């Protein structure tokens, strides 16, 4: 039986119920986090909490809980050795549907659940991802991790229909990010290029550690946008996310990146990242 968390209670999945008047249901007025679990340990939980609290603050949602304790209990209760914890907070329940939100003291809706998932031995790491590019038509506050993910879902389905793995989105001919990942390239000169943190991209938690490991390896890191054409001419390309960790990209819009195989530097960064997070001290709360 899968155990989930809902508003202070740990209950079975089938017993969890949310009101149809919840603003998360009606308006996607909610934020979320996805935390990796490796060897039964939460990965980068403190950074996820920092980002969650920032998202809540940007939307003026008044919510607090023992985030780490909730996630750790779900890992233990569900016997998760490798997978993710999904955590969501909405503004709460309204009496009637209304664009204006209720009073600041309205109780938020907080729920979380665990999913078993293969992270480390993902076969995509050996073969690399194939990507297509599409216009980025999302709203302009991509730095807030909200649940309004319809466009990302549409793009994932478009990628599936095209027989590829995912989409990189572009604005003004510059790559912003993937549908659920940050995007990166390594130039022919060995410079790792990643879009700077601003309102156009989500500040990825995995991205933080990835860039730190790249610098530790001696790579120069430039935080700036890059174009699809620049990506096609790159030596290597990759993505980073909590569910895919660090994954090589070998093709963009049918164009082979480098020699069409996962890049050597990307592979080393991935292994350094895994070594770093697997030896990190477990977070307690």
- 188 touches 233 (CB < 8 A): yes
3-state per-residue secondary structure call for 186-239: ECCCCEEEECCCCCCCCCCHHHHHHHHHHHHCCCEEEECCCEHHHHHCCCEEEE
Name the stretches of the chain with pLDDT < 50.
281-285
* R_g of the chain, CA atoms, integer Å: 19
Sequence spans of domains, the chain = 3-116, 124-278
54-74 in b/e form (b: 16+ CB < 10 A) is ebbeebebebebebbebbbbb
- CATH for 124-278? 3.20.10.10
d(CA 66, CA 283): 12
The number of beta carbons lying within 10 Å of the beta carbon of residue 241 is: 22
- The first and second tokens of residue 18, run together, are 């949310």
pLDDT of 18 reads 97
- Write out the E strands in 136-173: 166-171
Domains 3-116 and 124-278 share a fold: no
Is 145 known to be catalytic? yes
- The first and second tokens of residue 239, run together, are 């993505």
> Phi and psi dihedrals of 154, rounded to 5?
-60, -40
pLDDT of 283 reads 43
Read off the pLDDT of residues 160-195 as tens digits, 9 standing for 90 and up.
Answer: 999 999 999 999 999 999 999 999 999 999 999 999
- 93 touches 105 (CB < 8 A): no
> What is the CATH architecture of 3-116?
2-Layer Sandwich (3.30)
d(CA 81, CA 185): 31
Among candidate residues 13, 17, 145, 268, the one labeled active-site is: 145
* Residue positions counted in the chain: 285
d(CA 47, CA 199): 18
pLDDT of 281 reads 45
Helix, strand, coil shares of the chain as percentages rounded to 5?
30, 30, 40
The number of beta carbons lying within 10 Å of the beta carbon of residue 88 is: 19
> Phi and psi dihedrals of 201, rounded to 5?
-135, 160
């Amino acid at each position: 039986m899968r155990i989930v968390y809902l508003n202070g209670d740990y209950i079975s999945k089938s017993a969890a119920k949310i009101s149809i008047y919840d603003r998360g249901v009606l308006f996607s007025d909610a934020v979320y986090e996805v935390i990796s679990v490796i060897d039964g340990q939460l990965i980068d939980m403190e950074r996820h909490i920092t980002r969650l609290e920032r998202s809540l603050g940007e939307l003026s949602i008044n919510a607090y809980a023992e985030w780490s304790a909730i996630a750790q209990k779900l890992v233990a209760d569900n016997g998760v050795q490798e997978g993710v914890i999904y955590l969501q907070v909405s503004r709460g329940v309204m009496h009637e549907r209304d664009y204006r939100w209720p009073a600041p003291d309205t109780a938020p809706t907080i729920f979380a659940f665990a999913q078993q998932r293969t992270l480390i031995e993902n076969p995509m790491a050996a073969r690399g991802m194939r990507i297509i590019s599409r216009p980025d038509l999302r709203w302009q506050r991509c730095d807030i991790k909200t649940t309004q993910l319809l466009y990302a879902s549409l793009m994932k389905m478009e990628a599936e229909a095209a027989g590829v793995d995912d989409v990189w989105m572009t604005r003004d001919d510059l790559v912003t990010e993937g549908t659920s990942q940050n995007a990166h390239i390594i130039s022919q000169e060995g410079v790792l290029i990643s879009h700077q943190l601003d309102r156009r991209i989500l500040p990825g938690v995995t991205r933080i550690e990835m860039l730190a490991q790249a610098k530790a390896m001696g790579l120069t890191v430039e935080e700036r946008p890059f174009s699809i054409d620049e990506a096609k001419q790159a030596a290597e390309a990759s993505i980073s996310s909590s569910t895919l960790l660090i994954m090589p990209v070998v093709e963009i819009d049918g164009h082979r990146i480098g020699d069409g195989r996962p890049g050597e530097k990307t592979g080393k960064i991935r292994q350094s990242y895994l070594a770093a997070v697997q030896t990190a001290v477990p977070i307690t709360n």
